[in-house]
Structure 1
Amino acid sequence: MRSFMVIYLVMLGIAIGVEIAAGAFIAPVIFFPQKYLGDGVLTHFQSGILMTQVFLKMNLLIGFVALFSIIYEVQVWMMFKNYDFLSFIVSIVIVVATGLFIFYYTPFIVHAQQLGNAETTTELFTKMHKQSEWVMKFLMVAQCVLFVRRSWLSQK
């Protein structure tokens, strides 16, 4: 069970790192290419298309981590070994937030992009995009809480 804990913590750490990298490092470069390549390289719409591709790939990782998380927490709960109610609840929160991001917000954004630039400038798109950012931030906080909690419990 200890080796699964290590794998679990590594996967949570990787997911958190990828999410931070996507938001803090990749997005500013993709959305402001003129800073590096000069003007007229990409429109904001084209940058959005590229960023969506990054998030589609990231969705595979965070979906797998959320699934592994809930399976691990349920297994620990069923064995009553190192059971922690807070970790279990946070894992459920992670599954819900991940599900919202992957199955609600991402398809909405992809669909709007497929309809064209005009669809991505609507008030609805702006609201949905902002909500997706908040869900991702909430997900990262939950993952950090679970990472710290499980790391702390593994030291006992």
Structure 2
Amino acid sequence: MSKHKNKFNEVLDFFYIVSLLFVVSGALILGAIVAPVVFNSSLYLNEIFLTRFDNGLLMSEIFRRFSIVLNIVLLFVTLYHTYKYKQFLSSFSTIVFYVIFAISSLLFSFYFTEGVMSFIYKGELWINENIELFEAFHKASEIDFAIIMISALMLAINAYKKRFDTIN
């Protein structure tokens, strides 16, 4: 392999790992820091009281914007895997984790995020009348978000380990 192609692959691998770790860290920050602060906003805002529905509006918009970033990362990851697959550099586990990541990301962006937004458009009263449905849907979206985070982490770990396997 030429020196130029080697450098290209190193840079490509670096951006691939960084983009996956960006998704992992974004998911952790949203779940562990942003959501608890938003849903406990009364602890931080002295004179402003937000209802649970208002907090949900804020979180929905945050997740809608994160899904845009997730789609961009998914596009890059898909192009990366297409390139590596054509070079016969994809392991079975990498393909499995990629498929899980891709399906979960698409579900999050186009099913769960859009679904929660449609609940919100129906209004607070409708959500309160159908709270079991909303909570079940929300729980499923949390599970999907965790799957995205875990599969992205596994892809990053596989790529990082592969870098050391090809050096030796």
Aligned AA (1:34)? S
Moved more, 115-124 or 8-17: 115-124
C-alpha separation between the residues in 2 aligned to 1:24 and 1:39? 25
Q: 1:86 aligns with which of 86, 93, 113?
A: 93
Whole-angstrom distance in 2 between the partners of 1:14 and 1:51: 19
Q: What aligned pairs does 1:29-108 form with structure 2 within 5 A after superposition?
A: 29-38=37-46, 41-80=49-88, 82-108=89-115
TM-score (norm 1): 0.94
Indicate conservation of the 8 Å contact 1:101/1:135, yes or no: yes
Query: What is the CA deviation profile of residues 14-64 of structure 1, one whole-angstrom value per residue up to 9, with x for unaligned ones?
Result: 111111111110001110011112476100000000001110110011111
Which TM-score applies when normalising by structure 2? 0.88
Identity %: 25
Q: Which runs of 5+ in 1 are unaligned?
A: none
**Which residue pairs with 2:5 in the alignment?**
none
Q: CA RMSD in A?
A: 1.3
Query: Following superposition of structure 1 onto structure 2, how do residues 105-124 of structure 1 map, counting pairs within 5 Å?
Result: 105-121=112-128, 122=130, 123-124=132-133
Corresponding residue number in structure 2 for 1:153: 162
Moved beyond 6 Å, runs of 4+: none
**Matched letter for residue 147 of structure 1:** A
Partner residue in 2 for 1:25 = 33
Per the TM alignment, residue 88 of structure 1 is displaced from its structure 2 partner at its CA by 1.7
Query: In structure 2, what is the Cα distance between the partners aligned to 1:14 and 1:116?
Result: 33
Q: How far apart, CA to CA, are the structure 2 residues paired with 1:146 and 1:27? A: 26
Bigger relative contact order, structure 1 or 2 (CA pairs below 8 A, ≥6 apart): 2
Q: Which residue does 1:141 correspond to in 2? A: 150
Instruction: Please state how far the C-alpha of 1:11 moved relative to its aligned partner.
Output: 0.6
Aligned partners of 2:10, 2:48: CA distance in 1, in Å?
53
Give the conservation status (yes or no) of the 8 Å contact 1:70–1:88: no
